[in-house]
Amino acid sequence: DAELNKADAKRYNQMKLVKKGPFTMGTDAKLTKDGEDPERRVTLNDFYDVYEASNAEFARFVKATDYRTEAENFKNSFVLETLISEQTLSKITQQVASSPWWLPVDGADWLHPEGPDSNISKRLDHPVLHVSWNDAKAFCEWGGKRLPSEAEWEKASRGGLENRLFPWGNKLMPKGKHMVNIWQGEFPKGNSAEDGFIATCPCSFEPNKLGLYNTVGNVWEWVEDWYSTRHTSDAVQRPKEGKVKVKKGGSYMCHKEFCYRYRCAARSENSPDSSSSNLGFRC
Ligand SMILES: *[C@@H]1O[C@H](CO)[C@@H](O)[C@H](O)[C@H]1NC(C)=O
């Protein structure tokens, strides 16, 4: 408890108001085929956004509810190969053909992000990993909160700026300064961590104008919405069903040549029961 208190004293419940009003969602820049276009005006009501849910916060939830994550029930989850210990690697026999840097690791879960021989003791203030969309939703509900809609997520990330690539503007490194936790060096061989982080980070870099940290980079973040690439003119109207859920913001694994998705408009998807070592959420 003492460790948890220390880790989340600065973070817990620090919600930031995102004021009602319109913003421009998406981009016509055609940077991906993920359905970022068209640009559209969306008007939202007031809502509150909070930081990426941390390991400490998730630990409180599990302690209070005995919740078991889907990764714990499946008994495995996906981990980036370069983060896995030799010992754990030697036990892995499967690979994902389309993305060989992802390995299914038995015993990888939120408490053991790189497999059974890893732990979160030094990362209580980092975002919780290996949580499915269903897990994220359960956490938010326990806290009397909810996942953001995709539009809410994007408006919060943009922080009041219009039509910018990133939460702070259009330049990746204004005045040579790192603003986001992404991949430097050759992907997937090794992250040279010039931004200070090989994998996840706690609330770091400059927050956006609303005081929100790490909306892009660090970890992908689940949102409430089903994924679709067809948007109606009224973007508040959301798909009523689907097979996969939207995730936003990219992660520490993103690299311009390989995954130019550490941008406000960027999006991707996963099935609601999937989990990995670069995917978390905020409420
Ligand atoms: C957690 O992992 C560190 C290495 O990262 C290790 O030194 C420590 O003993 C581990 N703690 C537990 C409780 O397993």
Q: What is the pTM of this model?
A: 0.95
DSSP per position, 260-274: ---SSS-EEEE-TT-
Strand order in the sheet with 279-281: 267-270, 245-248, 220-226, 279-281
Helix or strand holding residue 223 (H, E): strand 220-226
What spatial distance separates the first Cα and last Cα of the chain, rounded to whole Å?
Answer: 23
The residue contributing the CA closest to ligand 1 atom 14 is: 119
Pair 50, 15: CB distance under 8 Å: yes
The tens place of each residue's pLDDT in the chain, 283 residues long, gives 777 776 665 555 579 999 999 999 999 999 999 999 999 999 999 999 999 999 999 999 999 999 999 999 999 999 999 999 999 999 998 888 888 899 999 999 999 999 999 999 999 999 999 999 999 999 999 999 999 999 999 999 999 999 999 999 999 999 999 999 999 999 999 999 999 999 999 999 999 999 999 999 999 999 999 999 998 766 667 888 999 999 999 999 999 998 999 999 999 999 999 999 999 999 9
CA 110–ligand 1 middle distance (angstroms): 15
Single-letter amino acid code for the residue at 61: F
In short, whether 85's Cβ falls inside 6 Å of ligand 1 is no
Secondary structure class of 224 (helix, strand, coil): strand
Q: Which atom of ligand 1 is nearest to the CA of 121?
A: 1
Pair 155, 23: CB distance under 8 Å: yes
Pair 225, 246: CB distance under 8 Å: yes
Pair 236, 228: CB distance under 8 Å: no
Q: Which atom of ligand 1 is nearest to the CA of 119?
A: 1
In short, whether 119's Cβ falls inside 6 Å of ligand 1 is yes
